[in-house]
Structure 1
Amino acid sequence: MGETVERVTLLKQQEQVWLDTHRLAVLYLQLGESSAEDVVCRALEELATRLSHAERFYREGQIPEMRKCTRSLIAIADQIGMQHLARVAGEVTGCIDAGDANALAATFARLMRIGERSLCEIWDVQDPPLSTP
């Protein structure tokens, strides 16, 4: 008898993220280094918290709460130059509004990947972006 060999392929999805350093530079110029750092740190904490809450709401099937949480990510991410994260959060909200569970699953997974990478990426910006916009 022939031997059956199964192969499992794992696709590792990795998202490219980018920060709008111009937006950060404007923030630093408008607020000054200390105040801008405070705003960015608070925004990052809020993003991490809301991503975590959105994930919990999704797992628990609390879609209206998930939508509210995800929608709130848009303005916060936009404020600190994370337009990619803001855009995908808007797409997740659109999937909820359309009632498309399959698209929601895929798009929300993407939001979580981009959120994680974006939070890491902003910490890689070594110095405040103080160049003139």
Structure 2
Amino acid sequence: MNVVEQLIALKQAETVRLDSEKLANLYRQLGEAEAENVVCRAVEELAVRLTHCERLWRQAKLRDLRKSARSLIAISDQIGLVAMARVAGDVTECVDNEDSAAIAATLFRLIRIGEGSLTAVWDQRDLSL
């Protein structure tokens, strides 16, 4: 019988890319109050859709997962979440390729990047106030 002497925990860390200039432009174009409203709604919607994507994957509803991941692209891009938009596109491509292992890996990468990205947006907003 083999005994495991040492366990190694792998920590997956993702680089979040926030286009702060895009966010700043949004504030300049709309004004602070309206931009705040847009950013808050976008962050809320992204959080809901990320959770929805995971639920759809667990239910094996890949067509709906593709649609939900695709919707993340435009919302992410609107507020400058570059990495999140790119990985959401990768999820849709994996669904199109019907690669179940790649779908799972890419979806959970999207969730990690999404969580970090939403935090980055809030931190960016706090710095600008």
- What TM-score do you get using the length of structure 1 for normalisation? 0.91
Aligned-CA RMSD value: 1.3
Partners of 2:127 and 2:23 lie apart in 1 by 11
Partners of 1:72 and 1:33 lie apart in 2 by 25
- Report the structure number with the largest CA radius of gyration: 1
The AA in structure 2 aligned to 1:75 is: A
2:121 counterpart residue number: 122
Partners of 1:118 and 1:25 lie apart in 2 by 16
Partners of 1:127 and 1:33 lie apart in 2 by 13
Identity of counterpart residues, as a percentage?
Answer: 54
* CA deviation profile, 1:1-51 (whole Å, cap 9, x unmatched): xx7321432211011102101001110010000000000000000000100
Relative to total residues, which structure has the larger helix share, 1 or 2? 2
1:93 to 2:97 alignment: no
Partners of 2:107 and 2:127 lie apart in 1 by 31
Partners of 1:28 and 1:116 lie apart in 2 by 22
Gaps of 5+ in 2: none
Contact 1:28 1:128 in 2 (8 A): no
* CA deviation profile, 1:61-94 (whole Å, cap 9, x unmatched): 1111111111000000000000110000000000
1:12 counterpart residue number: 11
1:71 counterpart residue number: 70
The AA in structure 1 aligned to 2:88 is: A
The AA in structure 2 aligned to 1:26 is: N
Partners of 1:32 and 1:128 lie apart in 2 by 13
Partners of 1:128 and 1:35 lie apart in 2 by 15
**How far apart are 1:122 and its partner, in Å?**
1.1
Aligned residue for 2:128, secondary structure, equals coil
- What TM-score do you get using the length of structure 2 for normalisation? 0.93
Gaps of 5+ in 1: none
1:49 to 2:48 alignment: yes
Number of equivalences: 127
